[in-house]
Amino acid sequence: MTLDLLKLALTHAEQCGLSDGAQDRPKHRERSKKGVECLGNSLRDSLKANSSVCVFTKHERSNREAFGLNELLYDVCVVETGDAGREALQKLGTVVC
């Protein structure tokens, strides 16, 4: 991923109808949630040509079937996936996607 791609995704996220600075926590939380999902969607759109790349966010369920989860440690994670042979997996032990 390039810096230009990330800047473009952030620009698209800003255009998702986020409200201006509200003073209470529920509105801030909703604005943050919407911003994270918009950023994730923009990255998904930009990276969809590469089927080995997945974008994880909390509320996007498209990764659940393949990986058993929607999100990783951060609000937005862009990961490249691949297959490992059985020998490699046995050497590694537990593998977390």
In a domain, 8, yes or no: yes
pLDDT at 49: 92
Q: 21-69, pLDDT tens digit by residue?
A: 546 678 778 888 888 888 888 999 999 898 888 888 888 888 777 777 7
Alpha-carbon gap, residue 47 to 53, rounded angstroms: 7
In a domain, 97, yes or no: no
In a domain, 66, yes or no: yes
Alpha-carbon gap, residue 77 to 24, rounded angstroms: 28
Alpha-carbon gap, residue 58 to 36, rounded angstroms: 9
In the block, tokens 């800047």 appear at: 7
Does the predicted model carry a pTM greater than 0.75?
Answer: no
How many domains does the chain fold into?
A: 1
In a domain, 79, yes or no: yes
What is the extent of the structural domain holding 16? Answer: 3-92
